[in-house]
Structure 1
Amino acid sequence: MLAKLYDWVDERLDITPMWRDLADHEVPEHVNPAYHFSAFVYCFGGLTFFTIVIQILSGMFLTMYYVPDISRAWDSVFYLQNKVAYGQIVRGMHHWGASVTIVMVFLHTLRVFFTGAYKKPRELNWVVGVLLFFVILGLGFTGYLLPWDMKALFATKVGMQIAASVPFIGGWIQTLLQGSDIVGAQTLARFFAIHVFFLPAVLLGLLAAHFIMIRRQGISGPL
């Protein structure tokens, strides 16, 4: 059945060459763990992408139950955690996956730096990777407030104070993120929109650019 469906789609869109191009792409010997033990450090990029996919899928599930309102946010998280089938597992995956993603991005960045993979002709890809790192940090910061408990509230207040201390534009950044004089309903609504819509859109765009450049330039050589 699936083979017939694939043949039907392939006859109209000619998708087989695209899959062959991906499958036949040669991988350098130095990134094959069967030949070099140090090749495992080249897995950090793929593992990072895997954790990002987990975050996206689990986040889509969470948004079906979460209510971005200060009077109902905590209740919606409690309901998801205790009443929804497998809700505790999915929320746990999203919660711990956020920390794992940041760690994996950091390790991948270290690998790129210490192997010199940021040098010509991959400077632009290095810039994209650094931007990805900051976007993921932003996702972690904005997502921390969404449960709307005391820990999230006071942590976000500290974050707003740090943002306000930025020279020249600190006040503007604080107003943009906070939305009012206090961390309240406007802040929660803005953090939800940034976390669910704006930053994921930037993330997907940067990932696409990252993968396209890797495809064009290939995997960097050994140290």
Structure 2
Amino acid sequence: MLRSMYEWLDRRLDITPLWRDVADHEVPEHVNPAHHFSAFIYCFGGLTFFIVVIQILSGMFLALYYVPDIVNAHASVKYLQTEVAFGSIVRGMHHWGASVAIVMLFLHTLRVFFTGAYKNPREFNWVIGMLIFFVMLGLGFTGYLLPWDNKAYFATKVGVQIAASVPFIGPYIATFLQGGDIVGAQTLARFFALHVFFLPAVLLALLGAHFLLIRRQGISGPL
């Protein structure tokens, strides 16, 4: 069935050359676990991407039920947890996946650094990777407020106060994040927009550039 569907599409769209260009890519011997035990450290980047995909899919499910206002936000999360089929499982995946993604991304960054994979000609990809790291931190920070409970509220207040302590531009950053002078309805709406629209768009663009450079430059060699 799947083969016939693929052939039907291929006759009309000629997708086989594109698929071959993506799939027929030689993998260096040093990242093959069958030949080198240390090859597992080269899996951190792929695992991070896999978790990001889970975050996107689970986040799309959560967005179907979440109401981004201070009156209904917490109630909508509670409804998702208690009334929606598999809601608590999906939210648990999204909640813990956010932490796991940061850990895996940190391990991937350490691998790149200690194997010298950031050096010529991969300096630009290292910069992109750092930007991805900060975007992921931003996603974690903006998503933490969305349940709108006491822990999320006061943790966000602390985070905004830390941002406000940045020299010269700190007060402007705090005002931008809060949408005003206090953490309130505007803050929740702003964090929701950042978490669901703006930061994911930036993340996908950076990931596309990251993968394009990896494909052109290849996987870095061992130490």
What TM-score, normalized to structure 2? 0.99
Give the letter aligned to residue 60 of structure 2.
M
Report the RMSD for the aligned CA atoms in angstroms: 0.7
Runs of 4+ in 1 over 2 A off after TM superposition: 1-5
Tell me which residue corresponds to 2:99: 99
Q: How many residues align?
A: 223
Q: Distance in 2 between matches of 1:2 and 1:53?
A: 23
Give the letter aligned to residue 137 of structure 1.
L
SS of 2:119 mapped into structure 1? coil
Q: Distance in 2 between matches of 1:32 and 1:134?
A: 30
Tell me which residue corresponds to 2:211: 211
Structure 2 residue runs without a partner (length 5+): none
Alignment of 1:180-199 (within 5 A): 180-199=180-199
Report the alpha carbon displacement of residue 14 of structure 1 after superposing the two structures with TM: 1.0
Tell me which residue corresponds to 1:81: 81
SS of 1:208 mapped into structure 2? helix
Alignment of 1:135-174 (within 5 A): 135-174=135-174
Give the letter aligned to residue 218 of structure 2.
G
Tell me which residue corresponds to 1:67: 67
Report the alpha carbon displacement of residue 5 of structure 1 after superposing the two structures with TM: 2.2
Report the alpha carbon displacement of residue 19 of structure 1 after superposing the two structures with TM: 1.4
Structure 1 residue runs without a partner (length 5+): none
| 1:7 aligned onto 2:34 | no
Give the letter aligned to residue 148 of structure 1.
W
Report the alpha carbon displacement of residue 24 of structure 1 after superposing the two structures with TM: 1.6
Q: Distance in 1 between matches of 2:129 and 2:32?
A: 23
Report the alpha carbon displacement of residue 42 of structure 1 after superposing the two structures with TM: 0.1
**Higher alpha-carbon deviation: 1-10 or 19-28:** 1-10
Q: Distance in 2 between matches of 1:102 and 1:191?
A: 19
CA offset digits 1:182-210 (Å, max 9, x no partner):
10000000000000000000000000000
Tell me which residue corresponds to 2:23: 23
CA offset digits 1:149-206 (Å, max 9, x no partner):
0000000000010010011111111111100111000000000000000000000000
What TM-score, normalized to structure 1? 0.99
